[in-house]
Amino acid sequence: MDILLYIIFTLLGLAVGSFLNVLVDRLPVGKSLVHPSSHCDACNHKLSFLDLIPVLSYLMLRGRCRYCRARIPLRILWVEAGSGLIFFLSYWRFGLTAEFAITALWCCVFLSIIFIDFEHKLILNRITYPAAVVGLVILGIDTISSDWNLLTYIKSFWPESGILNIAIVNGIIAGAIGFAFFFIIFLINPGGMGMGDIKLAFLIGLATGLPLFVVALLIGILLGGLAAIILLVFLKKGRKDVIPYGTFLALGPIITLLWGNEIFDWYLSLF
């Protein structure tokens, strides 16, 4: 039964990946997510069911359109496979729980941000704003469904109680810290990042909370710094070339949502 659920959720993840590809293709250029139906961007031929099987169609067609032989972006394969892997790992980590569904949802949001920013150098409000609203709703439900009432809320402001134990407060504080941190960087060096990165930092805080937000942030910063070094030293990019920093920043919460507690515990064990 467990193996069957792994297969089902992986296939579901692959299907979600197909939808994420639609987001990556259409949102940055302002196209509808519904119309027109899926088609080849080179010859405009409508794609059939056999052309749209996640991962398998790309491999069978060897990365080319069935009708005009134009090359299909490799990103199509990466997004579908990445989404399938996210669902597989989320189920492996958390089983058939609400945490599995929430983790898979957040990771897919960040996966779409990664590829949109990589291709278009944009972090879209049309993704970050709805994701933030959904995140607040999830945290609100988590707060209400826990052992919480008005007296608990009042007591949470007492120093010994810990306000961070309230899910929605924890998430908002983490998001606010991320927003403020990157906004200060933006004020000091306006060319270093855009407002999209600042909003992304808030979203990461909302998704991971404290203290795991620190883990997500450090992973994202380290990956972004490593990518910048590779681009500058090995690929001969200039300092003025735009580096899609959000791409690497959004990798941080994916890793953290799946393994954040283990990473945090490992770090503490060093001291």
Report yes or no on 78 lying in a domain.
yes
Span 164-178, average pLDDT: 87
* Helix and strand numbers, DSSP H then E, in the chain: 11, 0
| Contact (Cβ atoms closer than 8 angstroms) between residue 198 and residue 179 | yes
Chain segment 71-97, per-residue pLDDT in tens: 999 999 999 999 999 999 999 999 999
Rounded Cα–Cα distance for residues 170 and 205 (Å): 9
> Domain containing 75: what range?
1-96
Percentage of the chain exceeding pLDDT 90: 62
Span 53-72, average pLDDT: 93
Report yes or no on 107 lying in a domain.
no
Q: What is the pLDDT of residue 155?
A: 42
Rounded Cα–Cα distance for residues 181 and 127 (Å): 21
Considering only CA atoms, which of 142, 152, 212 is closest in space to residue 177? 212
Q: Are residues 138 and 65 in the same domain?
A: no
Cα diameter, the chain: 67
Rounded Cα–Cα distance for residues 193 and 246 (Å): 9
pTM of the model: 0.90
Q: What is the pLDDT of residue 245?
A: 84
Integer angstrom CA distances of residue 239 from 34, 102, 123, 155 = 40, 38, 21, 51
pLDDT at 232 over 70: yes
270 Cβ neighbours under 8 A, 6+ residues apart: none
Q: What is the pLDDT of residue 227?
A: 84
**Helix or strand holding residue 20 (H, E):** helix 2-26
**Helix or strand holding residue 75 (H, E):** helix 74-94
- DSSP designation for 149: -
Residue where a domain stops, chosen among 96, 113, 133: 96
Rounded Cα–Cα distance for residues 192 and 159 (Å): 38
Domain tally, the chain:
2
Compute the Cα dihedral for 126, 129, 135, 140 and give only its sign.
negative
Beta bridge partners of 71: 64
Chain segment 234-267, per-residue pLDDT in tens: 766 655 566 788 899 999 999 999 999 999 989 8
Q: What is the pLDDT of residue 157?
A: 43
Instruction: Label residue 156 by pLDDT band (50, 70, 90).
Output: very low
Q: Are residues 76 and 140 in the same domain?
A: no
Rounded Cα–Cα distance for residues 232 and 229 (Å): 5
Q: What is the pLDDT of residue 151?
A: 43
Q: Are residues 130 and 259 in the same domain?
A: yes
Residue where a domain stops, chosen among 62, 78, 96: 96
DSSP 90-132: HHHHH-SSHHHHHHHHHHHHHHHHHHHHHHHS---HHHHHHHH
Beta bridge partners of 17: none
228 Cβ neighbours under 8 A, 6+ residues apart: 243
Report yes or no on 218 lying in a domain.
yes
Q: What is the pLDDT of residue 149?
A: 47
Q: Are residues 92 and 136 in the same domain?
A: no
Bond before 211 cis per omega within 30 degrees: yes
Q: Are residues 128 and 82 in the same domain?
A: no
Place of tokens 């509808």: 32
Instruction: Label residue 116 by pLDDT band (50, 70, 90).
Output: very high
Q: Are residues 256 and 139 in the same domain?
A: yes
Chain segment 186-210, per-residue pLDDT in tens: 888 877 678 899 999 999 999 999 9
Q: What is the pLDDT of residue 100?
A: 95
Q: What is the pLDDT of residue 240?
A: 59
**Cα 147 from chain centroid (whole Å):** 30
Integer angstrom CA distances of residue 80 from 20, 24, 191 = 8, 12, 33
